[in-house]
Amino acid sequence: MSELQNIKARFGIIGNYPALNRALEKSMQVAPTDISVLVIGESGVGKEFIPKIIHSLSHRKHMPYIVVNCGAIPEGTIDSELFGHEKGAFTGATTTRKGYFEVADGGTIFLDEVGELPLQTQVRLLRVLESGEFMKVGSSVVQKTNVRIVAATNVNMMKAIQDGRFREDLYYRLNTVQIDMPPLRERKGDIHLLFRKFAIDFAEKYRMPEVYLTEDGVHYIENYSFPGNIRQLRNLVEQLTVVEQKREITSEALSHYIPMVSNAPMVISQPNQNNNNSDFNNEREIMYKVLFDMRSDINDLKTLTSELIKNRGASDLSNQEKTLINRIYTPEPQQAVVPNSLLYFENNSNTPQTPTIISNNADDNYEDIEDIELEEARPESLSLQNNEKDLIIKALEKHKGRRNKAADELGISQRTLYRKIKQYNLED
């Protein structure tokens, strides 16, 4: 068995994803040295295994190993926790206390969530990294310590530096070697292996038969994003073990615990971009409504024209009337009065137009009727602005000026309606 496999077995690490193997191999390589290590990864990916591996393979393995969750310690007491304090240094300091750096002398300190450290504490930590020196809170005596520091964070450190929340010099001191832990969503081949491992563990813990996935269940979890990573998967298996009556877990059962909608990528936009997108969508909706209403008007005109031809007969139409007819199309050719003729519209006016009868000989080439109706329409008759304005006026009249009701009728937001009212000078 290789050294990598030994480490995985020793620490209970499951998976063969190349990026995971690379992170473990890097940990093994830097372990014999004393250089600082920064572990980068999302919450729940298992960053805590890296400092354990480093400490266990180092010459410090028989010395103290201390884990400090920097995000869980209040800002007012974190200096005391890390560096200790003298008696009377602050209210409640009734005795002298050793800090973690003094207790862990000769060993390793794991600073979890190091990105949450206050700036004042960052200055003290930088001094420890540079010279191994620190002072207790309330003391003027410089003390020395010999510790190996491994830090971890799920924070975007470069952004934190730009925002002034983290010192750049401290970042480069900590980040002598960077180890990246991959998120679970990138380790698709490892997800089912982890599921089975957790299923066995919880079956033993709760003395129940272990749960197992169907083929569609495996496909489901392998395509889920797992924003909480391994921690979320572990919690999921624990729930399934305790709650589900059946031991066979299908995709349908999984959907009640992890809806696939959560797998949709998150797009983070600036507030003004969201507003612009909202306005664009609202304007597009009202444009669609205008076009549908125009099409309805066109169909009504077709019907009126067909009835005119049917009642009067094509032979009774004068040449002038035939010339004024504006290309009407009847959807049902069998009802057309004039044989071998193509009837269709172009005009969108509410006033019925007389149709033009155009020969439909085989050698004539016609475009698609729907394209002709919209693309060859006269600009003045198909003006989106005019129809949009008319729709807004009608909606306001229908609801007696109540803008919220009018906006609902039009299918747009009140904000967009107010802007359109101002645009078309409809305030009065």
d(CA 56, CA 47): 15
Contacts of 57 (CB under 8 A, 6+ apart): 27, 28, 31, 32
d(CA 264, CA 249): 23
Q: Exposure of 401 by Cβ count < 10 A (0-12 exposed, 13-18 middle, 19+ buried)? A: exposed
428 assigned to some structural domain:
no
The domain of 281 spans: 271-375
Upper half-sphere CA count for residue 96 (Cβ side, 13 Å): 6
Nearest residue to 174 (alpha-carbon basis) of 149, 144, 147, 146? 149
Strand-pair partners of 40? 153, 180
Pair 242, 254 in one domain: yes
82 assigned to some structural domain:
yes
Say how far residue 201 (Cα) sits from the centre of its chain: 32
Decide if 217 contacts 182 (C-beta within 8 A). Answer: no
d(CA 106, CA 132): 11
Pair 106, 243 in one domain: no
Q: Select from 263, 294, 329 the last residue of a domain.
A: 263
d(CA 376, CA 370): 10
Pair 305, 334 in one domain: yes
User: With DSSP H G I counted as helix, E B as strand and the rest as coil, what are the percentages for the chain, rounded to 5?
Assistant: 50, 10, 40
d(CA 122, CA 328): 79
Nearest residue to 175 (alpha-carbon basis) of 157, 162, 155? 157
346 assigned to some structural domain:
yes
* Token reading at 126: 């930088």
Other CB atoms within 10 A of residue 115 CB: 19
Helix and strand tally (H, E) in the chain? 18, 13
Pair 201, 55 in one domain: no
The CATH number that applies at residue 47 is 3.40.50.300
Decide if 81 contacts 24 (C-beta within 8 A). Answer: no
Residue 67, classed as helix, strand or coil, is: strand
The CATH number that applies at residue 401 is 1.10.10
pLDDT value, residue 2: 84
Residue 59, classed as helix, strand or coil, is: coil
* Token reading at 76: 């007012």
Pair 164, 194 in one domain: no
Strand-pair partners of 358? 342
7 assigned to some structural domain:
yes
Pair 120, 158 in one domain: yes
Other CB atoms within 10 A of residue 340 CB: 10
Pair 162, 107 in one domain: yes
Pair 252, 399 in one domain: no
Decide if 89 contacts 136 (C-beta within 8 A). Answer: yes
45 assigned to some structural domain:
yes
Q: Sort strands 143-144 and 133-134 into parallel, antiparallel or unpaired.
A: antiparallel
Pair 135, 217 in one domain: no
119 assigned to some structural domain:
yes
Other CB atoms within 10 A of residue 99 CB: 21
324 assigned to some structural domain:
yes
The CATH number that applies at residue 238 is 1.10.8.60
User: Would you give the DSSP letter of residue 245?
Assistant: S
d(CA 209, CA 246): 10
Pair 178, 190 in one domain: no
Q: Residues, the chain, total?
A: 428
Amino acid, res. 23 = A
Domain count, the chain: 4
Q: Select from 129, 154, 182 the last residue of a domain.
A: 182
418 assigned to some structural domain:
yes
Scanning the structure block, which residue is given the tokens 């004393």? 34
Q: Where are the alpha helices (DSSP H) in 313-378?
A: 319-324, 369-375
d(CA 190, CA 181): 14
Kindly write down the DSSP assignment for every residue of 335-401, as one continuous string: G-SSTTEE-------SS--PPPPEE--TT-----HHHHHHHSS-TTTS-HHHHHHHHHHHHHHHTTT
Pair 361, 290 in one domain: yes
Mean pLDDT by 10 residues, the chain (428 residues): 89 94 96 96 95 96 96 90 91 90 96 95 95 93 95 94 95 96 94 95 94 95 94 96 93 90 41 45 58 65 64 59 51 41 40 43 41 42 64 83 81 79 77
pLDDT value, residue 30: 97
Pair 101, 153 in one domain: yes
Q: Select from 263, 287, 308 the last residue of a domain.
A: 263
Decide if 368 contacts 374 (C-beta within 8 A). Answer: no
Amino acid, res. 76 = G
Instruction: Compute the Cα dihedral for 16, 22, 28, 31 and give only its sign.
Output: negative
